[in-house]
A and B are shown apart, each in its own frame.
Chain A
C-alpha cells in the first residue's frame, strides 16, 4: 500500500471535527468569519496565525465557551451542539489551555477527578483514578506522581496533568493552545513525543501555535488564520515555513535576520567574577567573566533558570551582586546605594526586561505614561515642578510612529496592546534613549511573527550605530540569528563562548545541557 492510498482512505472516513461556516463577532469586531475546516481523525492538525487572528476564539467555540453566531459543528460526522464545556467534554473534546486550569494546592489526582467524580464520596473516585492513571501511563508514557501537589511541579509536568485530565475524561480530540509558550526546549521536545504517541493511539490533536518550527516538525496538516479568516489548509509536507509565514502575515516575511558582519570596537561592558545570591540564599551566578564590545550583539543562550535572569537583574540595578562590572570605563555600584535603575540609566545602560508585563510596563497605565517611566525626570518631560503630560504624549506619538506600534494611540492602557506592540513600546522607550549598552531579555517572547521581524531589525540597527547589546533569550534560533557572539550559561557558569558564524544549534545545545567546555 502506498502513502497516497493511506491518505485517500483517511479522507473518506468521517472527519474527527468538521466546522461549517462558523462566524462570531464581538461588537464591531468580527473574530471569526465564515470558517470551515475538516480535521482528519488520527492526525495532528496545526492552526497557525498571529496573535488576534481568531484562533483562540474558534477553539473557545469548540469548547463551549462561546456560542457561534452562525455555523455548524460536526463531531465524527454527527452534527453536535456545544452550549457549554460539559457538552464539549461529552463530545470527546479535551482542551489544554495556555494558562493551565489547575488547582495549585490540590494533588494531581484531585485535579484529575475534579468535575469527573463518580459519586458523592471521594474515596472510590480517587482509587479509580489512581488505577486509570497507571493504565494511561503505560499506554502513552505519561508518567506523573499522582500524589504530588501541583504547585510543587514544574510547568512541563503541570501540562502533562492537563493532558491526563483530558484523557481521563476519554477525550478523543485534544486541543492544545500555544502549549510550548511556557516550556523549555527540552520540555517542548518531550511534549511533542507525547503528542506523537497519542496520534499513534488514534487520538486527534489540534495544535494552536504561532511558531512555524513547531508546525513544520509535528503536524500532518496545517490551517492558517489571518484576521478572523481561514486563509489556507495545506499538507505540512507540501509547504514551507516561508509560505506559511506569508499566508499568516499577508506579505513576504524575512525569517532570517538580515545583517552585515559586526565591526566590534572597544569594550563597553566588562564583567569580572560576578556572583549573585538570590533571596533564598541560593547562588545563581557563580563567578562569570564576560565582555561586550561596541557594535556587537552578545547573546546569552541557556535553558531558563541557569542564572541569565539574575545577570540581567544585577546589570539593570535591581538585584545585588559581588564582583566587578565596568561600563564605558566606569565601575558600577553592585550593592550600595547607587545600585538602582536610575543610576544604571545615568551610566548609559538601557534595559528591556525579560518579563515586559511585570518589569517593563505598568499594564493599567496609558502608553504615554509607560514611555516616560524611568525617564520621567527628563527636563523635556517637565514644566517646573510639574510633569508636562502634553509633551510626553507628543513624544509618545512620535515613538509609536517610528516603532510601528498599533494602534498608535498614546491614551490606550498598556494591557490593551498585543504582546508585540507592548514590546515595541518598551523598545521605543529604551532604544531612543541612545544608550551605550542595551540589555534585552526575551525580546520576542509571546510576540507574533511580523513583530519579531521588526524588533530584530531595530536591535540590529542599534548595533550598527556602534552600541553594545547584551541579549538574553531562551529561543536558541533567535540567539543564533541575532548574535555576533554567543555565550552559553549553565548552572550559573558560562560554559563557553562561540562566534555565532562558527557554531550551530547542536554544539550550543550540548553546552546548554552542561556537556563539554
Chain B
C-alpha cells in the first residue's frame, strides 16, 4: 500500500514534465519568423496596432510579439538572440555595444520626461537661473544635497544629468536614488525624496493627482528619440523581412498620427492589455505629446544626432567606455530606412 502510494505520488509529480514538452508554437508555412521586442509602455502601441490590423500576415511575416517589463531583460534577450527587431529608448546603447546590433530608424520623438517637485519645495522659488532656459526652476543653492528619484539608464537619467549641468551643480552633489517609475511615484507620494523624474503617462497625471510641480523637461535641453533596433544577425540575414516590417511601422505611424483619437484609444487598449488602468484623458494628452515618426519626419530630422548624444552621455557618467561610444555611433545606420522610404 505504502509503495503504491509512493509510486503514485512520484508519477503525479513527474506528470507535468511530460506535459511541458507539448506547447512549442509551430511556425507558419512559408512565412519569415520575426521576433519583435516591445515594453508595456508607449513604445508598444505601434507593434500592437500592426498586430491588430493583421498587416504582418498579409506581408508574409510571422510575428512573435515579445513584451519585456524592462530594458535589462530586453537586452539580455537580445544577447541570447531571442528577438530580431525592437522598439527601444535610451537603453538601446547597451544592446548595440554588447551585441553589435544596429539602429536602423526612428519610431518616435520622446517627449514628456519631466522633473517634478512637491508644491512646497524651495526649488520653485527660483526661476530662470540659467538665462538660456527661462522656464526652468532651481539654482545651485536650492538643488544641492537634494534627493532625486529616477530610473537609471533611461532618458530620465539623461534629463537629470542635463538639468544638473545647466543649473551648474555637480552630479555628486545630489543624492541619486534609482527606482522604477511606478514605485518612484508611490515613494515620492509618501514624502520620500525631493525631486522625481517621470516619463509619460505618469508625468501627465501626477500634477492633478498630487499637485506636484514640473521644474524642467527633457525637451527643454535636448532631443531624444525612440529607435528601431535590429539584431546583428537579422541585419545580415533577414534584411528583406526587416524592411517589410519597418514599412509597416511607418504606415502605422501615418495612420495613428492622422487620427489622435484613434491613437489615444489604441494606447488605452495597450495599457489595459498589460494590466494597467487605461485612462483615456491621460492617453489623449500622451497622444498629443509623443509624436510617432512618419516618413516625412524621418526624412527631415537629423538622424543619428540624438543617438550620438545619449551615447556620449553614458560614456560621460561611466556606464560605458569612450571607445564604445564611438563604436555605437558607427552602428547607427541609415541604409534601411532610406531604402524603405525611397519608393
> Do the two chains bind?
no
- Which B positions have Cβ atoms within 8 angstroms of A? none
